[in-house]
A = this chain, B = another copy of it.
Amino acid sequence: MAARDLQERIKKLIVDRRLPSGAPLPTEPELMEYLGASRNSVREALKALQAMGIVEIRHGFGTYVGPMSLAPMIEGLAFRTVAGHYRGEDSLLQLLELREAVETGLVSRLAGRIPEPDLGELDALVVRMEQQAAQGGAGLAATDRAFHATLYRGLDNVLLSEVLEAFWDAFHRVHRDLGGEPQDPRITCRQHREILDAVRSGDSLRAEEAIREHFGNIRERLSTARPQEPHPPRDDRA
């Protein structure tokens, strides 16, 4: 029996039965009978589906419908970027440009249309970012991530928000695993403040420019730091 078919039939089973995220899947013996395949074949199919985030396997407990998050996409993007980097491509720069291209387009549409509570939250995030910058910079990355996530929440499109977060995660994971130098925290803070002021004022062009400058800063750090690195890479985590 073709292994490729097994994956498709399990996916079909999830869709047909309208199983929501977290719903239990049939056990392996049940799947063996339902699919007419051996345990190993079923397991290989489940492993592949797990890698795509479609199912979730909990040891000694059972198999469940996955959270349908974009985590596998992050995984794939990150690996593609790391592998490309060590082969001499400027894959990390391309990933950064991808983020820049998407975010500049979005922020200009968003300027002046961010709900008040989100603006307040962004204020608080910038303040926290300034505190963390003054105290050595611990936790800065998380705050930066939250800032970008909150900024684009007003788009009211969960998928779009998740994609942006996925791009952020992939970039920062690769940047960290490759030992990239962190930004100057004060400059980063100032630029986030400027982004917030711009979108609050409703000036699309200014907001776009603020984002562009923010990314320009990161890009400079990227190109000046290491043209190529010969040392063995760190292992990236699950």
Q: Identify the stretch in A48-56, A121-129, A182-190 within 8 Å (CB) of chain B at 4 or more residues.
A: A48-56
Protomer copies: 2
Tell me, yes or no, whether A146 is within 8 Å of chain B by CB.
Answer: no
Q: Across the interface, do A12 and B233 meet the contact criterion of CB distance under 8 Å? A: yes
Q: A14 to chain B: which residues have CB within 8 Å?
A: 83
Q: A191 to chain B: which residues have CB within 8 Å?
A: none
Tell me, yes or no, whether A216 is within 8 Å of chain B by CB.
Answer: no
Tell me, yes or no, whether A139 is within 8 Å of chain B by CB.
Answer: no
Q: Across the interface, do B98 and A18 meet the contact criterion of CB distance under 8 Å? A: no
Q: A159 to chain B: which residues have CB within 8 Å?
A: 91, 94-95, 97-98
Q: Across the interface, do B54 and A87 meet the contact criterion of CB distance under 8 Å? A: no
Q: A47 to chain B: which residues have CB within 8 Å?
A: 3, 44-45, 47-48, 51
Q: A108 to chain B: which residues have CB within 8 Å?
A: 105
Q: Across the interface, do B232 and A16 meet the contact criterion of CB distance under 8 Å? A: yes
Which of B18, B48, B54, B101 touches A157 (beta carbons < 8 Å)? B101
Residue contacts A-B, CB under 8 angstroms, 16 given:
A3-B47, A11-B79, A12-B235, A15-B82, A15-B83, A47-B51, A48-B51, A52-B52, A52-B76, A53-B76, A73-B77, A94-B157, A97-B160, A101-B105, A101-B109, A105-B109
Q: Across the interface, do A157 and B50 meet the contact criterion of CB distance under 8 Å? A: no
Shortest beta-carbon distance, A157 to chain B, in Å? 5
Shortest beta-carbon distance, A16 to chain B, in Å? 6
Interface residues as binary, A43-76 with B (CB distance below 8 Å gives 1, 0 otherwise):
1110111111110000000000000101011011
Q: Across the interface, do B233 and A16 meet the contact criterion of CB distance under 8 Å? A: yes
Complex: chain B residue closest to A78, CB-CB: B11
Q: A236 to chain B: which residues have CB within 8 Å?
A: 8, 11
Q: A80 to chain B: which residues have CB within 8 Å?
A: 68
Q: With A51-B51, A54-B76, A105-B108 given, name 20 new contacts (CB 8 A).
A: A11-B79, A12-B233, A15-B86, A15-B233, A40-B40, A40-B43, A48-B51, A52-B75, A53-B76, A68-B84, A70-B76, A95-B159, A97-B159, A97-B160, A98-B157, A98-B160, A101-B106, A101-B109, A101-B157, A104-B105
